[in-house]
Structure 1
Amino acid sequence: MPIDPYILLLLGTVGLAALFPARGSAADVASGASTAAVALLFFLYGARLSTREALDGLRHWRLHATVLACTFLVFPLLGLAARGLVPVILTHPLYQGLLFLTLVPSTVQSSIAFTSMARGNVPAAICAGSFSSLVGIVATPLLAASLLGGSGGGFSADSLLKIVLQLLVPFLAGQLLRRWIGGFVTRHKQVLALVDRSSILLVVYTAFSVGVVQGIWHQVSPARLGGLVVVEAVILAVMLLLTWYGGKALRFGRADRIAIQFAGSKKSLAAGLPMASVLFGAQAALAVLPLMLFHQMQLIVCAVIAKRRAREAAGEVSAPQPAAATRTSVGTGTRSG
């Protein structure tokens, strides 16, 4: 089973925040650095994301419309349905985090990797993940503001202004400068990936430091955490089944169904964590916990499914070979006779 090493780093960061949370002036410095890190993250997202590639994929509009519907319609509906589990299974803060999880855009890298492993339509997965990320820059904050605004999420005109300044403006700046810095970003993508991940670790440390200082961890018991894991497992199972059999009902080919399944059932940790820090402020620690758990869960389950799809594809390729060999031997026998 794949255990994402980055999840271990995130958990280590959470442990560091629990033992040595930033307080006083150190908290102010960490908060300022976290704000700058989020702006840098979305600037780099804009510089890396090829709008042309994402828009070129619209020629396969049915597939991309299906992925977007799964990501920003079906997922949120499942999140809203989970409201009935409060307070029996989930606490209200955990539910807010779960609902936010359902609003996050799809991931790009793992969707491509699993689609390739399963011998699916890789170009479609690239375009679907990129287009989902592009739409999510605007759709996720708007959906969060509308669905969480009246439930204690702390959304206000000031929050929306922060979203624009910390997320949208840096992203658009990256897109505008991509023409000049795109080559540099591509050549140094490994170094910039380290910058991305380090920035997210800083965001997590700051968010969990605030949570520890405010004592929010008293709100999470092992039973509540177990209930959250079960609820997320059910949501993931529903989405995996719906994307696979829904793709069949919509008459997509096997390769397209694989791309739909992996792009339509995932949520991006890299995009969700910094968004949560802006949207939830002091409550970000509990808000990102469901996303961190779901991220690892989707990696494990999708790796198993991708390997199974690859074996199925290999079986389909090798199955005709005996028949072909039989026809050859028969033909040879006829000619010799």
Structure 2
Amino acid sequence: MPARPAILSDPMIAVLVAATALALLLPATGEARGMAQMVSNGAIFVLFLVNGMRIARGEIARGLVNWRYFGPLLLWIFGVMALGGLAAMQLAQQVLPPLVALGFLYFGCLPSTVQSATSYTSLAGGNVALSVVGAALVNIVGVFVTAPLFAALGGGAAADIGYETIVRIGLILVLPFVIGQALQGWTREWVMERKARIAWLDRGVIGIAVYVAFSGAVEQGLAGLFGAGEWAALLGLVVGFLALAIAGAWIAGGVLGLSRADRIAFLFAGSQKSVAIGAPMAAILFAPEMAGFVIAPLLLYHLLQLVVAAPLASRLALRPR
């Protein structure tokens, strides 16, 4: 049996905590925030360039062929989960600041994680190959789908996804990915040989995006907006969303008649959300003074999904095949 992932030692958790703490203690404000935003945008460009280099075109092709699994998975992630985010936002608006409530719709529209969904699928005895291909395909689709889907469902409450925003997404997310795909024949082997270092590039870019986002929120009085009641409401809504996502993805896999191994892969891909896409995209979609509020539910959801996934995967692994 594969080793159990160590939640508390996950470097990504440490990066998120450190970035948030630094923003609370030493936020980038004024001209410094503008410079930090430029650094963040440059780092995001490099990250998606590398993503284009390392996601094999063959994996994308295999995903497109296996429509019986990937069609329902995409519909679940960008349909059911997005509508769930819309419902959660409407509930959250009753007890939380509007931008924080908007964060539920935002993370509902995001693709699933790559590394953790694959790791927990492996731990639970699921179809790892399917999980790897699915993660690649879902995240590529998310780059193109998340922003317009979020705008369509959010209406006037969402960010203004106008021409300038579309151009920024194209230049900072899509263009480098396409360049990476074009260079893949010459660069993929070099990138794959340095997977450990590339993983730290991922974490570093996400950390920068979170720091810039929360710096803006701190400057706008983040601490003064949250009392004990608001924190309890935020936690309760996130826990409820996660519970429904896990139960729903598992039931959906059963309704689809998937094998147990494929159903496990569907469970983790369908219930987890990607901070690796969410934090950088929020830095592009929202002004710095807004982004920190919007990604607050995503960061909490990301932490809780890891905490819940470890015992869930271990329990699934103990059940008969």
2:187 partner letter: I
* Counterparts in 2 of 1:148 and 1:161: CA distance versus 1, 3 Å: farther
**Structure 1 residue 27, shift from structure 2 partner:** 2.2
- 3-state DSSP of counterpart to 2:287: helix
Which range moved further: 43-52 or 266-275? 43-52
What is the CA deviation profile of residues 215-258 of structure 1, one whole-angstrom value per residue up to 9, with x for unaligned ones?
24433333222212211211111121122122112211111111
Residues in 2 aligned to 1:5 and 1:193: alpha-carbon distance in whole angstroms? 10
Determine the structure 1 residue equivalent to 2:305.
298
Which residue, out of 44, 48, 58, partners 1:42?
48
Per-residue CA deviation, residues 264-293 of structure 1 (Å, 9 max, x unaligned), is: 111111111101111112211011111111
Give the % identical residues: 37
Which of 209, 229, 251 is 1:223 aligned to? 229
Matched residue of 1:164: which SS?
Answer: helix
Q: Counterpart amino acid of 1:294?
A: Y
Taking structure 2 as the reference length, the TM-score comes to 0.92
Cross-structure match for 1:2? 7
Task: Name stretches of at least 5 consecutive residues in structure 2 with no aligned partner.
Answer: 1-5
1:264 maps to which of 257, 270, 275:
270
Q: How far does residue 213 in structure 1 lie from its aligned partner after superposition? A: 2.0
Could you tell me how far apart the structure 2 residues matched to 1:291 and 1:84 are?
A: 16
Q: Which amino acid aligns with 2:200?
A: L
Moved more, 168-177 or 55-64: 55-64
Q: Quick one: distance in 2 between partners of 1:98 and 1:22? A: 25
Q: How does 1:80-229 map to 2 (within 5 A)?
A: 80-229=86-235
Shift of 1:149: 4.8
Q: Distance in 1 between matches of 2:151 and 2:54?
A: 27
Residue 75 of structure 1 is aligned with which of 62, 76, 81? 81
Gaps of 5+ in 1: 317-337
Label 1:110 to 1:30 Cα distance change in 2 as closer, same or farther (>3 A). Answer: same
Is the partner of 1:267 in helix, strand or coil? coil
Is this contact kept in 2: 1:21–1:212, CA < 8 A?
yes
Partner of 2:3: none
TM-fit CA distance, 1:86 = 4.2
Alpha-carbon spacing, 1:233–1:218, altered in 2? closer, same or farther (3 Å):
same
What amino acid sits opposite 1:74 in the alignment? Answer: V
Distance in 1 between the 2:21 and 2:45 partners? 25
Contact 2:124–2:313 (CA under 8 A) maintained in structure 1: yes
Equivalent residue, structure 2, for 1:328: none
Partner of 1:332: none
Distance, in Å, in 1 between the alignment partners of 2:301 and 2:68 is: 27
User: Which residue identity lines up with residue 114 of structure 1 in the other structure?
Assistant: Y
Tell me the alpha carbon deviations over residues 280-335 of structure 1, each in whole angstroms, 9 at most, x when there is no partner.
Answer: 1221101111111111111111111110111113xx5xxxxxxxxxxxxxxxxxxx
Q: Which moved more, 1:32-41 or 1:221-230?
A: 221-230
Partners of 2:252 and 2:207 lie apart in 1 by 37
Which runs of structure 1 show a deviation greater than 6 angstroms over 4 or more consecutive aligned residues? Answer: none
**Is contact 2:59-2:133 (8 Å) kept?**
yes
Please give the alpha-carbon distance, in whole angstroms, between the structure 2 residues aligned to 1:277 and 1:81. Answer: 24
Q: CA contact under 8 A between 1:66 and 1:260: conserved in structure 2? A: no
Residue 75 of structure 1 deviates from its aligned partner by 0.5
1:239 to 1:23, Cα distance in 2 relative to 1, 3 A: closer
In 2, Cα distance between the equivalents of 1:154 and 1:223? Answer: 30
Please, which of 12, 18, 21 is the counterpart of residue 12 of structure 1?
18
How far is 1:38 from its partner? 1.3
Shift of 1:152: 4.9
Larger CA Rg, structure 1 vs 2: 1
- The alpha-carbon deviation at position 262 of structure 1 amounts to 0.9
**Residue in 2 that maps onto 1:310:** 317
Cα distance in 2 for residues equivalent to 1:28 and 1:241: 42
The residue matched to 2:43 in structure 1 has which SS?
helix
Normalised TM-score (structure 1): 0.88
